[in-house]
Amino acid sequence: MRKRAKLAHVMECTFDNTFRPVAKRYGVIRTRLVERRTTLLFVRFRYHIITKTGETPLLAEDCQLLGFAGSPAKAERTDPDMTEKLIRAKPEESVSTDQAVRFLNKLIDNSDHLWHPPEKSAKENGGKLSKAPARVRKASQGKGIRYRAEPHLPPDVPGVYITIQQI
């Protein structure tokens, strides 16, 4: 439930006219680049880098853009090339604020389905991040220090962008 509340709060701020952010955190556009609804999640992953010696953990962050096509319950991951094209897509038709709010509310109502792919990515990335210090130590002849990266879950989703089929 906490995850849904975070998404709802960010969306409400987007449609709040009392301040003008530099970039919208949520958006809905129509484009001919998609045949069905495709959602892009701007995800911020956080990791605690912990040494086996018990030192204070370090914080590492990584941001990625994850895309999926279809409804959240039946989401299919989009390939990175398509995700890149969609984040650069220009709107080809108007989407009213009411329509955008409906699409975003549907997403929030089904957001529990959204968390599995980012959390899976966070764990996979944590494994890669744990290996990175080992490569540095090996290159510098350093020995004896072991690291592990623990993902801080759930990852943050500071932005959601929905692309829908042009009418």
Is residue 25 over pLDDT 60?
A: yes
pTM summary value:
0.72
- Percent of the chain at pLDDT > 70 equals 68
pLDDT digits (tens, 9 = 90+) for 98-146: 998 898 888 888 877 766 666 777 777 776 666 665 554 454 345 556 6
How many residues can be counted in the chain?
167
For residues 118 and 156, give the distance between their C-alpha atoms in angstroms, rounded to a whole number. 9
Please list, in sequence order, all residues whose beta carbon lies within 8 angstroms of the beta carbon of residue 144, skipping any fewer than 6 positions away.
none
